Structure 1
């Protein structure tokens, strides 16, 4: 058995586990990932989840490994295989929420015993609802019909299960309070008791209603959730209830298995999901690091003894940084996905793309305006209950202080709405000492924008609310009701901003704003199309200094478009390509206009929805799909149709999840079906256009892959992305992976020319990934500890300026040099392959471009071969072949 190398992982491979792909299935792929060059597998949550869960984020039991995945014996078998290859395991955990339903013993106990339950303090429940009907109870908005109708239609009825009385709602069991059960047991024969509570009869209806009134929960129509729910949810998902992880007992109970698995060497690190949902992320992260550090000495031989690898899922806004005092290794890499994605886009094409979007859609608003409108809508449509809870917490803080007792709840609500609408980040992290400098800057920005929107008479209150939310340190107040109320208001507010922002930006605005969908991604700002090379270098250098072990992701289980779909769509921003795209879209719109139909007095799909559909078709078209492949086209249409229906509902303009507009959705489906029907011939045109930009898209993808593997951080390869990834949003991005094909491709060891000749099958991308993972293995210290140095590119001002990216990773005199050309769409437009040579380099750059500052020595290009000596300066054209990206490895004598 090989002992894993100490220190952080060298490279991760993310796997989504479920009943169809278990821990034993993962174990069967260990040798493939070992051969590829991965040091750690990175598993989706392993706790027991809701039966049939395909993601594991709906946990019902933190104390056991999910039996559907094979249980703990299967985890042990997986770890044996990993250790045999000197590999490790990083585990995704879910501390923020659990599934609120059958199977969750903690939740069922709360429903049975109410506030007297041992687990009542585990969940973030507001027992102080302003509604006297709900106060002191848990509101369960699970009825498909109004309450009375549900009882009369027997959707809610009394039943017996395992010789015990239960309540059954839509076939789901709910517990009854112990006094109710005792009363029913003493009421006579079971059949008579059940008959007496038959809601289909008037007398039975009254008895059933009276029985329900004695429970610790209140049943309600599902539509009431957004207005009335009294427990903190994950986003607006009623079935996921928030946990009070700030309480030590809850922390220890929910992490007991994690700590044991780590102590026994069955896991080596953790990815913490949705850290912003926690009341106190700072305390949680430090507590987690402390507990794992204490367990290090218990780990067995064969398990690395160094610090556990810990990263948090955190969306960082532009200019925002992860707090160093959290003691984490970094984030899960959404910010890198944003940065490298923006680098692939061409700012020169932005004005033309903006004009095209506005002309087609008729929408003039920029993304920031669209996002603010979405925030305002979301507060009313999806988070009315959370808004009300936050406003009431602030109202309590006002009433606790005699100097602010005249403040009204409606006034607080008005200023709170404006703060939330204009909040520039997902959340702040103020504690007892108030806001730090970073949070203060955030609040001042939100305050300044909100001040322009609130009524003049509310501006003084806006300043007061800002103070209550951390502008004044609660610990500066004497212990008592005022201090407690301020701290509670601050906690509730900070836990509310993150889901509101995510729902408004990621799940609404990103489905409304369609300038270029490759920038509409989790962690990205679609309003910022491109990133220049100097800024990218500065961000890499900063990461090397502050978070050298930050995860680097370009695809995740949450992405809206696969990494290669985004890379292909980025070509549409290249200045030389935008005119072709614009004329193509105009031609398509004209030829397909007759396929649109009228629904409720408007055309379906709308112009904006049609334009976003064309982008999606172009981005997701498989490289191996022929326009006359009927079976392949049908499968492709099904994938796009699934995306389109979800996109329409997330946008919340003509349809939504809570009230689907099926006539509009069906008309959009019919439009898509007609587009791809063989008789229409559009698929031939679509295929032809994809072929025009496909090679340039592949060049973007290979550049993206190279940067993920060579810039500071730990690269993460999401399942299936070792070949081309043109997936769409979940569940499409969680589709089964053909590992047999990947094994066969890796085993062939085909030369670069052969791979370029059949580049559409994905083996070329796999070879680039394999070559660079092996490089990281040979030069582990260089990538784990080495400097990141921008290399000087000497080029005249002009057409080629700003296209060549050059840097080196150095340690103790050794250097790995990376050269990459971006914005190659003009040269590779209509190209049959992403093949590159000196002539192509010269066509893109000035002939006399030089790269200076390279560590002298002899190098070989890992991406295609070729060797040569370098003495401080090199000519890019000498090395950029056969790809527009080169990674130079030093040769030892």
Structure 2
């Protein structure tokens, strides 16, 4: 997997291709390459589906590099984003909507939530201060008399036809620099012009509880698109399909498939357009959930593999001992399952209230058309929806036209009944069941449930991956994308059962241990997983370190700052690097600080992204500096580190051997051919030192040719052994397809 951005573009990949070929890689697995927000370091904030990103080298650069890849006998697998786009003035299609509103051809491309408050105006949460302050400060103005637009800070937005008419009227029919100057001197006049735009400029904090468009999760800067609308399918997918037809790309990854209105129908259309190109889907499978065999895909991108391969190497016999210690030490008493449910409800209340409004309106409007729904109020409907969404325990169901899957119906039926039990709203529950029973003969009922399905993944992902995973820290190796923190390990029987199922049904699915979205790099995760094999030792050291480091804390009454839960998380993160390097490696310190700030903001108990507690964050930073600078702590930590480093290596090497030999297609995230000691993004999206990897591979090949396997094994600390395993098994796979 290669992460392209302006700091590593198509041309930068070319000199790396011979190394990847020699390593045994068969395909480049590329991050999104279509035009995205300027300076984007990931490419998922697309601004134009019909252009290759110029910052990466444009179409010419892509063709050139792809030709080199193919000349080496390798393929190109392309990540694509069918669910959302960027919300900014760079978005080609949104600019048209900003100007023409509902008259725009692209109006229905975007998934607006048509509630009574919508009024056909898009909320843009781009103001750094309250609207009135920004307006009165002169930071919103009318500019350019020849083609008037609205300037907000350094961004310019198109003016609507109605707004333009008003500017002309104020200017006496002819817009001049003088008339614009007069307009900009009067905030009330600018406000009147803004009221006539097809968008509303709003203070960013007012968007915390939601927007009037469906988003990617709760990210206001990413607006969802309606991929189910066939007239836009050509616009959003045509460039990629053309690249496939020209042989520039050979297959696709489809990002966030669960965000689509009907994933199965989208995959059918996509297969028709490409002639059944190889396609993998980013799909989280929870618990016993299975990927739909009817989907036109080779399988998932491998988070299910990561789950089994991680949990298999955790020692289940020490679960109770570690859990009891963690509970006692951290003071965290809720189970992960309870945390997830409570976090779902909190997110629905605080971040998804607009989505709940929209769903409540469409369900209420439907029920009020029916005789059986006449006594149901809007407030009761909303209260029920608030309980229904967090009651789902899988990422989503797939009720859709022509697909009456009994399992989907059962899950929806059971979840409605569970929500009824939890809320006590029995009458609403009965109406919802009747509505569900009619869904396949009543298109309006089915539409309501299909829109509901689209919102479920956001609440589960945010409450689990972006909240509970940073609150419940018993062993954070388990807190990974696609994983279940309420479980502790998987048995040998379960592991082999999964692999057999994969071999029969999804032999071409991806197998991954690290991605651009994983919370930890695979070798960091393996070291932390090793804690389960030395629980007694770990708990002794944690108690010892806590007493040793108390002088670096601040007492707030009876409470220690930073909290013991955050302290416990920090000790695990520090296993990523030898304490002998803590002082001299300033970059490592920056990374530790960055990861800890991200972790405690995601946790949300002491600080968060929207309302950071600078005092608490400063105390945490001082604590980190204090303990990393303590010779006594470094010496003590080293004693445990050397054990975790070795056991972690055994786990990592074992996992990589399985990845390279088990059913599936191995996905090697950039840099993971050697040690991957990264943290959560953006830490895991930086450039890779490929020169170091090349030198390591050359050394390994030379040692292999000399039969110096003892030397290779002795190089386990610097990644020599790991890159050797990758080199031998990747080339074995290539030579024995």
Normalised to the residue count of structure 1, the TM-score between the two structures is 0.80
2:14 and 2:628 map into 1 onto residues whose CA distance is: 40
- The residue number in structure 1 matching 2:227 is 245
1:136 CA displacement: 2.0
Deviates more, 1:173-182 or 1:440-449: 440-449
- The residue number in structure 1 matching 2:580 is 627
1:778 CA displacement: 2.1
1:441 and 1:349 map into 2 onto residues whose CA distance is: 37
Q: What SS is found at the alignment partner of 2:368? A: helix
1:308 and 1:587 map into 2 onto residues whose CA distance is: 57
- The residue number in structure 1 matching 2:317 is 348
Q: What SS is found at the alignment partner of 1:400? A: coil
Is 1:119 paired with 2:135?
A: no
1:182 CA displacement: 4.6
Is 1:157 paired with 2:141?
A: yes
Q: What SS is found at the alignment partner of 2:481? A: coil
1:452 CA displacement: 3.3
Q: Is the 8 A contact 1:432 1:473 kept in 2?
A: no
1:141 CA displacement: 2.1
Q: Is the 8 A contact 1:361 1:608 kept in 2?
A: yes
> What do the CA deviations read for 1:691-718 (whole angstroms, capped 9, x no partner)?
1221111000000000001110000000
1:333 CA displacement: 0.4
1:653 CA displacement: 0.8
1:591 and 1:769 map into 2 onto residues whose CA distance is: 41
Query: Where do residues 382-397 of structure 1 align in structure 2 (5 Å cutoff)?
Result: 382-397=351-366
Q: Is the 8 A contact 1:551 1:716 kept in 2?
A: yes
User: Which of 717, 732, 737 lines up with 1:775 in the alignment?
Assistant: 732
Q: Is the 8 A contact 1:23 1:75 kept in 2?
A: yes
2:167 and 2:557 map into 1 onto residues whose CA distance is: 53
Query: Where do residues 221-620 of structure 1 align in structure 2 (5 Å cutoff)?
Result: 221-227=203-209, 229-293=211-275, 307-432=276-401, 435-455=404-424, 458-468=425-435, 471-477=436-442, 483-484=443-444, 486-574=445-533, 577-598=534-555, 602-618=559-575, 620=576
1:449 CA displacement: 3.5
1:680–1:159 CA distance, 2 compared to 1 (3 A): farther
2:273 and 2:309 map into 1 onto residues whose CA distance is: 35
> What do the CA deviations read for 1:789-833 (whole angstroms, capped 9, x no partner)?
xxxxxxxxxxxxxxxxxxxxxxxxxxxxxxxxxxxxxxxxxxxxx
1:43–1:661 CA distance, 2 compared to 1 (3 A): same
Q: What SS is found at the alignment partner of 2:694? A: helix
Unmatched tracts of structure 2, length 5 or more: none
1:518 CA displacement: 0.2
Q: What SS is found at the alignment partner of 1:145? A: coil
1:152 CA displacement: 0.4
- The residue number in structure 1 matching 2:154 is 171
Q: What SS is found at the alignment partner of 2:126? A: strand
Is 1:190 paired with 2:176?
A: yes
Is 1:665 paired with 2:624?
A: no
1:417–1:466 CA distance, 2 compared to 1 (3 A): farther
- The residue number in structure 2 matching 1:703 is 654
1:36 CA displacement: 0.8
Structure ranking higher in strand proportion: 1
1:183 CA displacement: 4.5
Normalised to the residue count of structure 2, the TM-score between the two structures is 0.96
Structure ranking higher in helix proportion: 2
2:321 and 2:451 map into 1 onto residues whose CA distance is: 44
Bigger CA radius of gyration: 1
Q: For this pair of structures, how many residues does the alignment match?
A: 728
1:445 CA displacement: 4.4
Is 1:37 paired with 2:24?
A: yes
2:732 and 2:635 map into 1 onto residues whose CA distance is: 42
1:446 CA displacement: 2.6
1:181 CA displacement: 2.6
Q: What SS is found at the alignment partner of 1:271? A: strand
- The residue number in structure 1 matching 2:723 is 766
1:355 CA displacement: 0.5
1:130 CA displacement: 2.1
Greater length-normalized contact order (CA 8 Å, ≥ 6 residues apart): 2
Query: Where do residues 42-81 of structure 1 align in structure 2 (5 Å cutoff)?
Result: 42-81=29-68
Q: What SS is found at the alignment partner of 1:164? A: coil
Q: What SS is found at the alignment partner of 2:32? A: coil
1:327 and 1:20 map into 2 onto residues whose CA distance is: 35
1:473–1:263 CA distance, 2 compared to 1 (3 A): farther
1:488 CA displacement: 2.8
Q: Is the 8 A contact 1:433 1:473 kept in 2?
A: no
Deviates more, 1:116-125 or 1:188-197: 188-197
2:210 and 2:72 map into 1 onto residues whose CA distance is: 53
2:487 and 2:400 map into 1 onto residues whose CA distance is: 32
1:564–1:682 CA distance, 2 compared to 1 (3 A): same
- The residue number in structure 2 matching 1:692 is 643
1:593–1:112 CA distance, 2 compared to 1 (3 A): same
2:402 and 2:428 map into 1 onto residues whose CA distance is: 22
1:101 CA displacement: 0.7
1:664–1:98 CA distance, 2 compared to 1 (3 A): same
1:207–1:672 CA distance, 2 compared to 1 (3 A): same
1:72–1:445 CA distance, 2 compared to 1 (3 A): same
2:635 and 2:267 map into 1 onto residues whose CA distance is: 53
Q: Is the 8 A contact 1:143 1:221 kept in 2?
A: yes
1:600 and 1:64 map into 2 onto residues whose CA distance is: 58
1:364 and 1:137 map into 2 onto residues whose CA distance is: 45
1:740–1:113 CA distance, 2 compared to 1 (3 A): same
Q: What SS is found at the alignment partner of 1:761? A: coil
> What do the CA deviations read for 1:565-585 (whole angstroms, capped 9, x no partner)?
1111111112xx110001000
1:255–1:628 CA distance, 2 compared to 1 (3 A): closer
Q: What SS is found at the alignment partner of 1:764? A: helix
Q: What SS is found at the alignment partner of 1:91? A: strand
Is 1:753 paired with 2:710?
A: yes
Q: What SS is found at the alignment partner of 2:485? A: coil
Q: What SS is found at the alignment partner of 1:229? A: coil
1:746–1:596 CA distance, 2 compared to 1 (3 A): same
1:629–1:614 CA distance, 2 compared to 1 (3 A): closer
1:511–1:445 CA distance, 2 compared to 1 (3 A): farther
